[in-house]
């Protein structure tokens, strides 16, 4: 096969994997546009569950998908995950009540939990010289599509109602699964052994229980009886999983695989992603406030200003992901991850100094996007260099899990800061709260940068990719 033909085939494979990853937008982002309509249709005031269920289910699915992908092949499990996600969309489409709808959302979560499979597939199938760059393109390509997709879904929903979201999701899942099965070869690396399904269920359900409590408690109350039961159940399931994992020959996640560099990488992912997502949440909050209201902050400008504040981070994430992949193949993913954290620190400082100036804040938001792209791409690239090929699926699944954990936990931390420092007599954030919020996220970036620097000094201990 000639170089031109091989290059064209790689480009085609990358395009297919980008489409597969874009399914996540139809599962998570698109339903946000129709939450009020769904809540009204199903007669519930718990709209948070309608969307959070798929995100939490993604965390539940990831460990099982990681181990099965290592054992049975990345392409095969990716196809199955996409089809399962499509089946979940069809259940949501025909759901007569909220219980059936939530079941569909949990099943849809398989698509959310499968993004990491595309990363491991690239690392094992693509030539090493383009592998890390391709990871950056695939993990960031959906961000570019995500800039236009809200406008598309808004038009579709306006014409056909909220259920159209799930029609599009099911159709895209079928198309992506077909393309992956027909055009992509199977990955060459397979682990031996079996899949510990019982362990995967204990781990997945335990994680989902704990994250459900963290996600929903701020609205329902930290002492809500039902949520406390959910938290305790999640902790008990996780404890049971640890007990069985230490006594199982082939656990779904081998705890011996969690070396210090691997754990450090996961910490950087949690802190970096969490700080970025939390700052993005803050921008959404203060973006509706005009500077002339005299609160000491405010980014509301003219028409379209808030849209620009979110479009620039999306563009930055796409750019940062591609650059991180390209640089990772040249200076190493650990150093690239460190630079990403340093950019996050600089952008956070800029945002701290411009909470009442739209254009400087928008530029800082764009640079925060660069950090997000670097965290995702370098986190996947680095983690898969720290273990052997037979364990890359599992470790990448853990990175995917940490992306969600970081976003949930630090968003809650940020919201608690704003609530505790609100202007007396109301819920409006104070300038002290806004600035304290940013300082906490800056500290998260700083700790992540220190850890990433430590990892880069130990890079010679990593196993070859």
Q: Could you read off the pLDDT of 177-210 as tens digits, one per residue?
A: 999 999 999 888 777 778 888 888 898 889 888 8
297 has pLDDT over 60: yes
pLDDT tens digits, 241-276: 999 888 887 888 888 888 899 999 999 999 999 999
The better pLDDT of the pair 143, 163 is held by 163
Give every CB contact of residue 367 below 8 A, 6+ residues apart in sequence.
316, 343, 344, 346, 347, 350
How far apart CA 87 and CA 195 sit, in angstroms, is 23
Half-sphere exposure of 348 (CA within 13 A, CB side): 27
Supply the pTM of this predicted model: 0.84
pLDDT at 199 (0 to 100) = 86
How far apart CA 450 and CA 323 sit, in angstroms, is 21
Confidence category of residue 220, pLDDT binned at 50, 70, 90:
confident
Confidence category of residue 115, pLDDT binned at 50, 70, 90:
confident
Backbone angles phi, psi at 149, to 5 degrees: -60, -35
**Mean per-residue pLDDT, 390-410:** 85
Backbone angles phi, psi at 131, to 5 degrees: -60, -55
User: What is the torsion angle, in degrees rounded to the nearest 10, for the CA atoms of residue 26, residue 106, residue 404 and residue 151?
Assistant: 20
The architecture in CATH of the region 254-465 reads Up-down Bundle (1.20)
The first and second tokens of residue 45, run together, are 């005031």
234 has pLDDT over 80: yes
The distance from CA 113 to its chain's CA centroid, rounded to whole angstroms, is 9
Confidence category of residue 91, pLDDT binned at 50, 70, 90:
very high
**Mean per-residue pLDDT, 364-387:** 91
The architecture in CATH of the region 1-193 reads Up-down Bundle (1.20)
* In the chain, % of residues over pLDDT 70: 89
First to last CA, the chain: 24
463 has pLDDT over 50: no
pLDDT at 86 (0 to 100) = 93
Average pLDDT, the chain: 84
């Amino acid at each position: 096969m000639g170089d031109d033909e091989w290059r064209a085939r790689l480009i085609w494979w990358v395009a297919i994997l980008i489409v597969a990853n874009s399914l996540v937008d139809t599962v998570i982002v698109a339903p946000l546009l129709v939450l009020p309509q769904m809540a009204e249709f199903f007669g519930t005031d718990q709209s948070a569950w309608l969307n959070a269920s798929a995100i939490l289910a993604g965390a539940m699915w990831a460990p099982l998908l990681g181990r099965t992908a290592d054992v049975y092949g990345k392409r095969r499990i990716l196809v199955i995950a996409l089809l399962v996600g499509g089946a979940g969309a069809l259940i949501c489409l025909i759901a007569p009540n909220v219980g059936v709808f939530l079941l569909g959302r949990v099943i849809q979560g398989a698509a959310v939990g499968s993004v990491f499979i595309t990363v491991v597939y690239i690392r094992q199938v693509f030539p090493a010289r383009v592998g890390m760059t391709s990871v950056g393109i695939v993990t960031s390509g959906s961000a570019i599509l995500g800039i236009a997709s809200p406008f598309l879904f808004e038009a579709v929903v306006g014409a056909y109602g909220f259920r159209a979201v799930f029609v599009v999701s099911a159709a895209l899942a079928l198309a992506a699964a077909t393309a992956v099965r027909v055009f992509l070869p199977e990955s060459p690396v397979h682990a031996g052994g079996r899949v510990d399904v019982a362990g995967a269920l204990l781990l997945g359900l335990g994680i989902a229980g704990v994250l459900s409590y963290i996600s929903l408690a701020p609205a329902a109350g930290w002492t809500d009886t039902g949520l406390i039961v959910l938290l305790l159940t999640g902790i008990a399931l996780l404890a049971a999983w640890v007990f069985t994992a230490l006594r199982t020959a082939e656990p779904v996640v081998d705890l011996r695989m969690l070396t210090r560099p691997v754990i450090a990488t996961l910490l950087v992912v949690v802190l970096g992603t969490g700080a970025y997502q939390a700052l993005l949440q803050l921008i959404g909050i203060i973006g509706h406030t005009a500077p002339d209201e005299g609160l000491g902050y405010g980014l509301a400008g003219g028409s379209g200003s808030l849209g620009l504040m979110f479009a620039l981070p999306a563009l930055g994430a796409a750019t940062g992901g591609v650059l991180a992949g390209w640089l990772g193949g040249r200076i190493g993913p650990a150093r690239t991850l460190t630079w990403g954290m340093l950019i996050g620190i600089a952008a956070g400082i800029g945002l701290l100094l411009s909470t009442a100036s739209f254009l400087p804040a928008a530029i800082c938001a764009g640079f925060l996007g660069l950090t997000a792209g670097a965290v995702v791409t370098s986190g996947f690239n680095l983690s898969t260099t720290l273990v052997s090929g037979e364990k890359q699926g599992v470790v990448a699944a853990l990175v995917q899990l940490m992306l969600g954990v970081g976003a949930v936990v630090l968003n809650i931390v940020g919201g608690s800061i704003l609530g505790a420092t609100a202007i007396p007599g109301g819920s409006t954030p104070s300038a002290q709260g806004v600035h304290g919020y940013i300082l906490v996220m800056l500290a998260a970036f700083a700790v992540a940068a220190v850890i990433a620097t430590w990892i880069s000094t130990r890079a010679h201990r990593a196993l070859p990719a």
